[in-house]
Amino acid sequence: MVEKTGLDDMDGSKLIDIISDPAVYHRTLIEGIRQAKASVILSALYIGTEKTKEKELIQAIAESLADESRPNLEIALLLDYSRTKRAFASFEAVFRPLTKLTRNSHRLHIWLYELLSQRANQGGIREKLVNCLPPQVKEVLGVYHSKFAVFDDKTAILTGANLSEEYFVQRQDRYYIIRYQQVVKFLSGYAKFLGADSHVYQHGVLQQPKQNLSNGDVRKGIEKLLEDCMKGDKVGAMGK
């Protein structure tokens, strides 16, 4: 069980570790962001922006993007569209400056995934009804709820915790550090696949999804990704 730091076994001799408490989870996320050389993916229902531990996480993102020793680092956030829109003013106040920084904007990806049950461009009476609903009510139709982090496509944290203060301070949840190559590869690919079908917040503008995949397309895409990830050699630690 991880007590002091979550990423102290990056040589991969352990395939799974269990994080002990919310404070260690928060510290492990920040450590992963600060140590990553190529990529960070953070997936959750939402990200908090106003409280102390939330600000520390966002500060780690900002400082990592500005770190000249890691010029190729890319950071992606995959969040639920409706939940983020509910507190969009606070979200935009924090992330708009980051996305508008010329040298950083192409390396910070903010994907807001909207479940097909929420989308307005479905035609007919359903489209009219969905268009009339406020974000809080649209959440009743379903939300994106996958919570994990991936660092350099080598290590993942699979959890039930959101990126918010209560989950960083007092609310105990599940936190597993995973180094199974196929699992890490799947989580990374899963986030990128859904990210390509998400609203994109970039340069202070919220853009519509480019693909607008159907339920069948999403299911087939994820099944294909899972199949591809499970092919190959026996499951082993990353980097080995």
In the set 17, 80, 152, 197, the catalytic residue is 152
Q: How big is the CA angle at 64 (ends 61 and 69), to the nearest 5 degrees?
A: 170
Token pair in block for residue 153: 């496509």
- Helix H or strand E encompassing 110: strand 108-113
- Calpha distance 78→187 (Å, rounded): 12
In the set 145, 203, 210, 220, the catalytic residue is 145
In the set 26, 147, 185, 199, the catalytic residue is 147
26 belongs to the catalytic site: no
Q: What φ, ψ does residue 195 adopt, rounded to 5°?
A: -60, -35
152 belongs to the catalytic site: yes
Burial zone of 31 (CB within 10 Å; 0-12 exposed, 13-18 middle, 19+ buried): middle
SS3 56: helix
138 belongs to the catalytic site: no
Residue 198 near residue 112 (C-beta atoms within 8 A): yes
Residues annotated as catalytic are 145, 147, 152
